[in-house]
Structure 1
Amino acid sequence: MSVIDSEAAGTAPGVGPGAAVGTAPAELTPRLRLVLVLLLAAQFMLAVDFSILNVALPVIGEGLGFSLAHLQWIATSFALCAAGFTLLFGRVADLFGRRRLFLGGLVVLGAASLVGGLAQNPETLIAARVFQGLATAAVTPAGLSLLTTSFPEGPLREKALGLNGALMSAGFTTGAILGGVLTDLLSWRWAFFVNVPVALAVLFVAPTVIKESRPDERPKLDVPGAVSVTLGLLAVVFGFAQAGEHGWGSSPVLLSLAAGVVLLLVFFAVERRVSAPLVPLSVLGKRSVAWGNVAGLIAFLTETSLVFLMTLYLQEVLGFSPLGAGLSFGVLGIGTVVGGSIAPKAIGRVGSKATLITGGVLQTLFTAALLGLGDGRSWMWLLLVATFAGGVGNMLVIVGFMVTATSGLADHEQGLATGLATMTQQIGITMGTPIMSAIATAAMTGSGDSDILGGLKVAVAVNAAIVLLGVLTSALFLRGARSRAK
Structure 2
Amino acid sequence: MTITSNATQRARPHAGPAWIVLSLACACQFMVILDASIVNVALPSIRQDLGFPPTGLAWVVNGYLLTFAGFMLLGGRAADLFGQRRMLAAGLFLFSASSLLGGLATAPEILVTARVVQGVGAAMLAPATLAVINTSFTEKRARARAFGAWSASGGVGGMAGAVAGGAITTGLSWRWVFLINVPIGVVLIVVAMMSLAGTRTGRRESLDLMGAVTGTAGLAALIYGVMQSADHGWTSVPVVGPAVAGLLLLVVFTVVEARFATQPMMPLRLFRVRRIAVGNVMLLLFGGIGSAMWYFTSLFLQNVLGYSALRAGLGQTPAAVTFVVIARLAAALLPRTGVRPLVLAGCGCFLAGFGWLAQAHADSGYLTSVLGPTLLIAVGIGLTFPTLMAAATADVPEGDAGIIGGLANTASQVGGSLGLAVLATAASARAAMEAGGSPPAALAAGYDLVFLLAAGLGLAIAAVSVLLPRHRRG
Answer yes or no: same fold by TM over 0.5.
yes
Do residues 474 (structure 1) and 465 (structure 2) align? yes
1:423 aligns with 2:413: no
Contact 1:24–1:152 (CA<8 Å) still a contact in 2?
A: no
Instruction: After TM superposition, give the deviation of residue 297 of structure 1 in Å.
Output: 1.9
Alpha-carbon contact 2:95-2:117 (below 8 Å) kept: yes
Deviations 1:47-76 (A, max 9, x none): 101100112112211111111111111111
**Once the 2 structures are TM-superposed, how far is the Cα of residue 483 of structure 1 from its aligned partner?**
5.4
Matches within 5 A, 1:43-62: 43-62=29-48
Name the aligned partner's letter for residue 471 of structure 2.
A
Partners of 1:340 and 1:90 in 2: CA distance: 24
| Counterpart residue type for residue 44 of structure 1 | F
CA RMSD of aligned residues (A): 1.9
Query: Contact 2:223–2:417 (CA<8 Å) still a contact in 1?
Result: yes
Query: What SS does the aligned partner of 1:216 have?
Result: coil
Partner of 1:237: 223
Distance in 2 (CA, whole Å) between partners of 1:392 and 1:170 is: 14
TM-score w.r.t. the length of structure 1 is 0.91
| Match runs of 1:66-145 below 5 Å | 66-145=52-131
Cα offsets for 1:17-73 (capped at 9, x unmatched): xxx865889xx9981111111121111111101100112112211111111111111
Contact 1:102 1:139 in 2 (8 A): yes
- Aligned to 1:246, the other structure's residue is in SS state coil
Q: Using a 3 Å threshold, how does the CA distance of structure 1 residues 279 and 242 change in structure 2: closer, same or farther?
A: same
How many Å apart are 1:101 and its aligned residue? 0.8
Other-structure match for 1:448: 439
> 1:62-111: per-residue Cα shift (whole Å, max 9, x none)?
11111111111111111110000100110011011111011011011111
Q: 1:202 aligns with which of 181, 185, 188?
A: 188
Q: Residue 240 of structure 2 aligns with which residue? A: 254
Deviation at 1:364, TM superposition (A): 2.5
Aligned partner of 2:375 among 364, 373, 388: 388
Distance in 2 (CA, whole Å) between partners of 1:312 and 1:405 is 31
1:336 corresponds in structure 2 to 323
With over 3 angstroms needed to count, the CA separation of the structure-2 counterparts of 1:74 and 1:388, relative to structure 1, is same
Query: Which position in structure 1 is the counterpart of 2:165?
Result: 179
Deviations 1:250-276 (A, max 9, x none): 211011111111111111111111222
Q: 1:454 to 1:349 in 2, by over 3 A?
A: same
Query: Match for residue 457 of structure 1?
Result: 448
**How many angstroms does 1:437 deviate by?**
1.2
Question: How far apart are residue 377 of structure 1 and its match?
Answer: 5.0
- Output the CA distance in 2 between the equivalents of 1:118 and 1:275: 44
Match of 2:401 in 1: 414
Deviation at 1:170, TM superposition (A): 1.8
Determine if contact 2:131/2:402 at 8 Å carries over to the other structure.
yes
1:437 aligns with 2:428: no
For 2:10 and 2:75, the matched residues in 1 are separated by 28
Q: 1: distance between equivalents of 2:473 and 2:309?
A: 43
Q: Is the 1:343–1:395 Cα contact (8 Å) retained in structure 2?
A: yes
Partner residue, 1:16: none
- Change in CA separation of 1:245 and 1:153 when aligned onto 2, cut-off 3 Å: farther
**C-alpha separation between the residues in 2 aligned to 1:213 and 1:339?**
35
Distance 1:125 1:237 in 2: 21
Structure 1: any 5+ residue segments left out of the alignment? 1-19
- Kindly state the Cα deviation for residue 357 of structure 1 after the two structures are TM-superposed: 1.9
Structure 2 SS opposite 1:372: coil
* Residue in 2 that maps onto 1:6: none
Does the 8 Å contact 2:292/2:450 carry over to 1? no
Q: What is the CA distance between 1:328 and its match in structure 2?
A: 0.8
- Find the counterpart in structure 1 of residue 148 from structure 2: 162
Contact 1:236 1:260 (8 Å CA) reproduced: yes
Q: Structure 1 runs of 4+ off > 6 angstroms?
A: none
CA distance in 2, matches of 1:407, 1:357: 19
Is this contact kept in 1: 2:16–2:195, CA < 8 A? Answer: no
Aligned to 2:275: 288
> What are the within-5 Å matches in structure 2 for residues 16-55 of structure 1?
22=9, 31-55=17-41
Give the Å deviation of 1:191.
1.0
Amino acid at match of 1:321: S
Q: Deviations over 1:441-470 (max 9, x none)?
A: 011121622111111111111111112111
1:461 partner letter: L
- Within the candidate set 398, 404, 424, 2:385 is matched to 398
Give the share of equivalent positions with the same residue, in percent.
Answer: 35
Counterpart of 1:152 in 2: which secondary structure? Answer: coil
C-alpha contact 1:83 1:137 (8 A) present in aligned 2: yes
Does the 8 A contact of 2:63 with 2:116 survive in 1?
Answer: yes
Going from structure 1 to structure 2, the CA distance change for 1:287 and 1:172 (only over 3 Å counts) comes to same
Determine whether 1:318 maps to 2:305.
yes
Cα distance in 2 for residues equivalent to 1:219 and 1:30: 28
* Distance change >3 Å, CA 241–CA 72, structure 1 → 2: same
The offset of 1:428, in angstroms, is 2.6
Q: Which of 355, 374, 379 matches 2:361?
A: 374
SS at match of 2:198: coil
- Give the alignment's TM-score, normalised by structure 2: 0.94
- Structure 1 residue 299: Cα displacement: 1.9
Q: Is the 8 A contact 2:80 2:402 kept in 1?
A: yes
Q: Deviations over 1:173-217 (max 9, x none)?
A: 111221111112221111111211211111122211110232212
